[in-house]
């Protein structure tokens, strides 16, 4: 009898899964990239992986529209809504105003926004505790440097990127308070050459480890570390980036934009989609570090970093999320 019930339950689960897959054929999910576009090996590519996961598992129809200019945002978002996409993702904080405008124009379309918040009945906003993940890779950088000089390279000089900067600086200071941190910004997210040039400048100023939060510019940062040789390193961001230079990338600060897009869209299949604001940090596996660290660091260092992760999640270690908070906490 128990065996029959178990088999019956298994059949029900299989039928439910099949019904989701079949029903998903009629679900269409699209995304609009920010100006970094696909191929940045970082932020936009992470969001696209979330779409591909939906397609592979449920047969969802997906599409991507790349933005060449910020002035493209409204038209690109509107285009997908006009085409009848059930959900449209705006990938990047620069699209906040554009999405607010388009969401009002297309109240029947569901929208998702990454890295900013729009309070509307048809918008799901997802933001991250980037400072928490950046704190962890700051610990790694502080443990790796041989000269107590470490670099940070951001893209656009905005509060969102300051979260990466502040968290990283705090992580470095937590275990190496005497380390000097050189700060620089490219001013863009889509210029590999600018990233490389700024990284080479910071290396010439004495840094031997650089963490970037600069989109496609980070490809240049990693290339600079690779060209400088075996004593220079980069730390990637958003997506695992060690494949770009396996011996030169210590780890990457993971920002699970892929899961945000995947989970935020999957609820459509069960008719459980809701608007609102979701915040993803260490406790939600929204940020972290890539497995490359397991190759580049000893077990003692891994345990140190994982220990701090638990302390942050427990609220015993506060991580600054802005330059102002960092200055208040560290007097710098």
For 274-290, what is the mean pLDDT? 97
What is the reported pTM? 0.90
pLDDT tens-digit series, residues 1-13? 554 445 545 544 4
Give all strands (DSSP E) within 51-161, no chain letters. 61-65, 87-91, 110-114, 123-128, 149-154
What is the C-alpha to C-alpha distance for residues 32 and 94, in angstroms, rounded to an integer? Answer: 12
229 plus 137 within the same structural domain: yes
User: CB–CB of 171/321 below 8 Å?
Assistant: no
For 31-59, what is the mean pLDDT? 93
For 142-165, what is the mean pLDDT? 97
pLDDT for position 22:
43
| Residue 249 lies in domain | 130-255+287-330
For 62-78, what is the mean pLDDT? 96
pLDDT for position 320:
98
Percentage of residues in the chain having pLDDT higher than 70: 92
The pLDDT confidence band at residue 286, using thresholds 50, 70 and 90, is very high
273 plus 250 within the same structural domain: no
pLDDT tens-digit series, residues 102-150? 999 999 999 999 999 999 999 999 999 999 999 999 999 999 999 999 9
248 plus 324 within the same structural domain: yes
Measured in residues, the chain has a length of: 332
For 159-172, what is the mean pLDDT? 98
Nearest to 132 by CA among 253, 44, 42: 253
Helix axes 43-58, 2-23, angle to 10 degrees: 120
CATH number for the domain harbouring residue 250:
3.40.50.2300
108 plus 141 within the same structural domain: no
What is the C-alpha to C-alpha distance for residues 60 and 194, in angstroms, rounded to an integer? Answer: 38
70 plus 99 within the same structural domain: yes
pLDDT for position 140:
98
What is the C-alpha to C-alpha distance for residues 224 and 230, in angstroms, rounded to an integer? Answer: 11
pLDDT for position 14:
53
149 plus 30 within the same structural domain: no
More confident residue, 330 or 244: 244
182 plus 211 within the same structural domain: yes
Q: Is the dihedral of CA 157, 287, 169, 151 positive or negative?
A: negative
pLDDT for position 1:
52
25 plus 53 within the same structural domain: yes
User: CB–CB of 214/195 below 8 Å?
Assistant: yes
pLDDT at 232 over 70: yes
For 139-167, what is the mean pLDDT? 97
Gyration radius of the chain's alpha carbons: 21
300 plus 221 within the same structural domain: yes
pLDDT at 301 over 90: yes
The pLDDT confidence band at residue 20, using thresholds 50, 70 and 90, is very low
pLDDT for position 36:
81
User: CB–CB of 330/173 below 8 Å?
Assistant: yes
Nearest to 239 by CA among 269, 268, 223, 259: 259
116 plus 146 within the same structural domain: no
Distance of CA 176 to the CA centre of its chain: 26
For 325-330, what is the mean pLDDT? 94
Domain count, the chain: 2
Nearest to 51 by CA among 324, 289, 265, 328: 265
82 plus 42 within the same structural domain: yes
For 226-239, what is the mean pLDDT? 97
For 31-53, what is the mean pLDDT? 92
Looking only at the bridges linking them, the beta strands covering 276-280 and 123-128 are parallel
User: CB–CB of 71/98 below 8 Å?
Assistant: no
Bridge-partner residues for 113, per DSSP?
90, 125
pLDDT for position 74:
98
The pLDDT confidence band at residue 35, using thresholds 50, 70 and 90, is confident
pLDDT at 161 over 80: yes
145 plus 114 within the same structural domain: no
């Amino acid at each position: 009898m128990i065996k029959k019930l178990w088999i019956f339950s298994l059949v029900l689960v299989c039928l439910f899964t099949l019904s989701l897959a079949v029903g998903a054929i009629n679900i269409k999910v699209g995304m609009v990239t920010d100006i970094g576009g696909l191929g940045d090996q970082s932020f936009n590519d992470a969001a696209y992986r979330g779409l591909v996961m939906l397609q592979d598992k449920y047969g969802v129809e997906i599409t991507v529209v790349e933005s060449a200019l910020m002035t493209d945002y409204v038209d690109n978002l509107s285009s997908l809504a006009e085409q009848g996409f059930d959900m449209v993702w705006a990938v990047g904080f620069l699209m906040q105003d554009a999405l607010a405008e388009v969401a009002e124009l297309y109240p029947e379309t569901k929208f998702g926004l990454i890295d900013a918040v729009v309070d509307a009945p048809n918008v799901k906003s997802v933001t991250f505790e980037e400072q928490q993940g950046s704190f962890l890779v700051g610990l790694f950088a502080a443990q790796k440097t041989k000269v107590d000089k470490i670099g940070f390279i951001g893209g656009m000089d905005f509060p969102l990127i300051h979260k990466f900067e502040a968290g990283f600086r705090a992580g470095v200071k937590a275990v190496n308070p005497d380390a000097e941190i050189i700060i620089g910004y490219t001013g863009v997210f889509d210029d590999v050459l600018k990233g490389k040039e700024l990284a080479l400048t910071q290396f010439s100023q004495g840094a031997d480890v650089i963490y970037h939060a600069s989109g496609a510019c980070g490809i240049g940062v990693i290339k600079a570390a690779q060209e400088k040789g075996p004593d220079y390193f980069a730390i990637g961001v958003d997506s695992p980036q060690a494949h770009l230079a396996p011996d030169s990338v210590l780890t990457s600060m993971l920002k699970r934009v892929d899961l945000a897009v995947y989970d935020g869209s999957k609820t459509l299949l069960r008719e459980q989609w809701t608007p609102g604001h979701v915040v993803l940090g260490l406790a939600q596996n929204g940020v972290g570090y890539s497995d490359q660290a397991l190759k580049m660091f000893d077990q003692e260092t891994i345990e140190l970093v994982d220990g701090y992760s638990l302390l942050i999640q427990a609220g015993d270690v506060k991580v600054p999320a802005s330059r102002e908070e960092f200055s208040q906490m560290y007097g710098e």
